[in-house]
Amino acid sequence: MASALSGIRVIDTCGLGPASLAAMTMADMGADVIKVDMPPGGGHKGVGDGLAYFPEKEEEAAKMMAFAAVDRNKKKTAINMRTEAGQAVFQRLAKSSDVVLEAFRPGVMDRMNVGYAALSKINPRLIYCAVSGYGQTGPYRMYPGHDGNYAGFGGILGLTGDRVDGPPVMALNIVADMAVAYLKALIGILLAICARERTGKGQMVDISMMDGVVGLLAGVPGAVEYPYTGVKPIRGDTLTSGTNPFYAVYETKDKKYLSVCPIEPRFWANLCKALGREDLIPHEFAPSPKKEEIMADLRKIFLTKTRDEWFDELIKADVPIGKVLDIDEVFNDPQALARQMVVDIPHPRFGKVKQVGISIKLSDTPGSIRSLAVPLGHDTEEVMSGLGYSKDEIKKLRSEGAIY
């Protein structure tokens, strides 16, 4: 059975950064993805460079790599693009590829003669996706940054938190990294592939993480109305900030938590009836201080039973309710297992390796996990041979430090 992206070749130069997850998804869907890293000593400083949690011992590093979903289904090589010989290799690879995905600061790839301007002349059908913090243009384009910085500039961080007088709360790395660098890069690339079917030409896909965060405001309650109401939303006082009784997290008897979200009046009525508090039904949208009184009452009620007891009872009452699972629970949750969002993949060295599954379900051309991550340079011989290099030429390129 052919996969959705069979026949598409992708060059991934994104290291361990979130943009590399876009390449992972394309690989899951059948694309031939070649992961290009810098060789040891090549001077590459990728995402996470120098952080203490990257294992130094070979055995630990190998095990970590086996469990790292980001590089599954990819062939791995290393090309030193700071050398002329390495640039020539990369250009030859790009000539026969459909997509180049990079996440350097603007201008880095251009200085190595492998940016869009150079590669599009070699391959006019090439789709070149550059993911950066602030985009290829604008006054912030060269600023360094991470998810929290882009979420702050984009307005999302300032709205995240449960108190008007409290500080903003970091939302892990799911805003700019996952929703933008990963998903919008993937969408942008797929849109460009669709456009190429009509025009025959590739194009530049410029993904700014700050742009993406600002774009997310279109779906944020309070923020989406601001342009025409002029009323600025306040942190801790929006519909879904966790400070309303109908959309909050409540602690239970066993010191676990439930997410309780009966926003619609019919669901709020179901909750109140199930709790024996029909008197609260007319007060769903009550302002302060009545709102705080209701939440205080609900907190006391939820402390009388365990998380799972409340869930079983309230889900039968047709209340939008969920368990706040710890990570170990997620990896054993029956829904996640039924949907194959947690899968075991055999590894020749470490036995069965758990991986996060494929979240996009296609009925006719489903994705698959065909191989786990491999060490740096594992597929160099195969990739170079496929480009037409002889064994002697490959040996020479290695001796020059152009490839690894």
pLDDT digits (tens, 9 = 90+) for 45-55: 555 565 555 56
Band of the pLDDT at 130, cuts 50, 70, 90? very high
pLDDT for res 194: 98
Given the structure tokens 């039973």, which residue do they identify? 305
Q: Is residue 290, in this structure, part of any structural domain at all?
A: no
Q: Is residue 291, in this structure, part of any structural domain at all?
A: no
Range of the structural domain that residue 135 is part of: 9-215+359-399
Q: Considering Cα of 196, then 199, then 204, then 209, what sign does the dihedral take?
A: negative
Q: Is residue 277, in this structure, part of any structural domain at all?
A: no
Q: Is residue 253, in this structure, part of any structural domain at all?
A: no
Q: Is residue 329, in this structure, part of any structural domain at all?
A: no
pLDDT digits (tens, 9 = 90+) for 181-223: 999 999 999 999 999 999 999 999 999 999 999 999 998 888 8
Nearest to 382 by CA among 29, 93, 1, 42: 93
Given the structure tokens 């009184």, which residue do they identify? 293
Is the pLDDT assigned to residue 73 strictly greater than 90?
yes
Q: Is residue 313, in this structure, part of any structural domain at all?
A: no
Please compute the mean of the pLDDT values over residues 358-378 and round it to a whole number: 94
Q: Is residue 278, in this structure, part of any structural domain at all?
A: no
3-state class (DSSP) for residue 91: helix
Is the pLDDT assigned to residue 355 strictly greater than 80?
yes
Q: Is residue 364, in this structure, part of any structural domain at all?
A: yes
Q: What is the mean pLDDT of the chain?
A: 93
pLDDT for res 228: 85
Per the structure, how many domains does the chain have?
A: 1
pLDDT for res 202: 98
Half-sphere exposure of residue 92, counting CA atoms within 13 Å on the CB side?
A: 14
Band of the pLDDT at 265, cuts 50, 70, 90? very high
- CATH code, 183: 3.40.50.10540
E-strand ranges in 38-156 read 74-78, 99-102, 127-132
pLDDT digits (tens, 9 = 90+) for 83-98: 999 999 999 999 999 9
